[in-house]
Amino acid sequence: MKATAKANVNIALIKYWGKRDEELILPTNNSLSLTLDGLYTTTTVHFKSELTEDRFYLDGKQVTGVPYERVTQFLDIVRKEANEENLYAEVRSENHVPTAAGFASSASGFAALAAASTKAIGLELTEEELSRITRRGSGSACRSIYGGFAEWKMGEKEDGSDSYAVQIAPKNFWDIRIAAVILTDEKKSVSSRDGMKRTVETSPFFQGWVESSFTDLTRMKEGIENRDFAMCGEIAEANCLKMHATTLGANPPFTYWTDSTMKVMQEVRKMREEGIPAYFTIDAGPNVKVIYLPEHEEIIQKRLQAIPEVTNITLSKAGDGITYL
């Protein structure tokens, strides 16, 4: 009863921001992402009859507290699904998502945990079923089941049975790339979980965000289908700005941006004015992800590196979905 799985991180081009059900992790809009190559988590789950509780080790160190709770709560869901409610596991994860790359590892972490634990306990799931159960660990993780472009369909049902991700296009459909731009003045930010909750509950801009995200999604899918880079870039950037605008209307208000974040945004806009196609997107933190095409990699990397506040840049291509090792 042992299995190992590897999952990559993903970056949303149309953001998931807001839940309609916090327990089941059901979103208020569909989101769309690109799974990235080379930034991943590998997890081995070993169910053992002699264990009386789960154990979780991250990069060799035993984990306790809230991160441990999130893992065991997720395993409870897997146990229930498999009718094995008294079977506990040893979980060993290795994170190959350097903190310095500025990605939250929850997407790759929960996708790898879901794949390894469901396989180890003997569940035979389709990718959609795996995505649906992964969603319960962390919403954005349900998109990391797939390589390339994935869409998380919010679904309508109260029990969440129709809320899971599907693949829109495989990784070799279109070689678009993402530069993760890491900044010096990283502040401790509001977690995405808390940030979206506060926004849903208090921001008068939240409804506008939800409504416009549906139009953005339809147009983004059209842009991907036609491999229209300018169209996809413009929509991704605008969608990200609308998501971040909701936080300014929240009570108490907050923002994930710092002045360095804005410097990178300005540089991306400046490159565009000069005819270099590049667009940005930002998640629940100050770092910026820049979307570009391979032929502009060198110049974009150079321009971003020249910004004094930039400490590190990670360049990624599109990556694969879940693999079992």
Question: Interface with ligand DP6 by CB under 6 A: which residues?
Answer: 12, 15-17, 25, 31, 104, 106, 138-140, 192-193, 283-284
Question: With respect to ligand DP6, which residue has the nearer C-beta, 153 or 296?
Answer: 153
Residue nearest ligand DP6, CB atom distance: 139
CB of 162 to ligand DP6, least distance (A): 17
Is 152 within 8 Å of 143 (Cβ atoms)? yes
119-146: b (≥16 Cβ within 10 Å) or e: bbbebebebbbbbbbbbbbbbbbbbbbb
CB of 16 to ligand DP6, least distance (A): 3
Is 10 within 8 Å of 281 (Cβ atoms)? no
Q: DSSP string of 80-146? A: HHHT-TT-EEEEEEEEES-GGGT--SHHHHHHHHHHHHHHHTT----HHHHHHHHTTT-GGGGGTTS
Question: With respect to ligand DP6, which residue has the nearer C-beta, 6 or 15?
Answer: 15
Question: With respect to ligand DP6, which residue has the nearer C-beta, 4 or 31?
Answer: 31
| Angstrom distances, CA of residue 204 to CA of 28, 193, 197, 199, 246 | 15, 19, 13, 8, 8
Beta strands in 118-259 (DSSP E): 149-153, 164-169, 177-183
- How many residues comprise the chain? 325
CB of 32 to ligand DP6, least distance (A): 9
CB of 283 to ligand DP6, least distance (A): 4
Q: Rounded to an integer, what distance in angstroms lies between the CA atom of residue 142 and that of residue 144? A: 6
CB of 184 to ligand DP6, least distance (A): 21
Question: With respect to ligand DP6, which residue has the nearer C-beta, 17 or 209?
Answer: 17
Give the DSSP H/E element, type plus range, for residue 198: helix 192-202
CB of 316 to ligand DP6, least distance (A): 15
CB of 116 to ligand DP6, least distance (A): 18
Question: With respect to ligand DP6, which residue has the nearer C-beta, 104 or 293?
Answer: 104
Question: With respect to ligand DP6, which residue has the nearer C-beta, 284 or 318?
Answer: 284
Question: With respect to ligand DP6, which residue has the nearer C-beta, 284 or 310?
Answer: 284
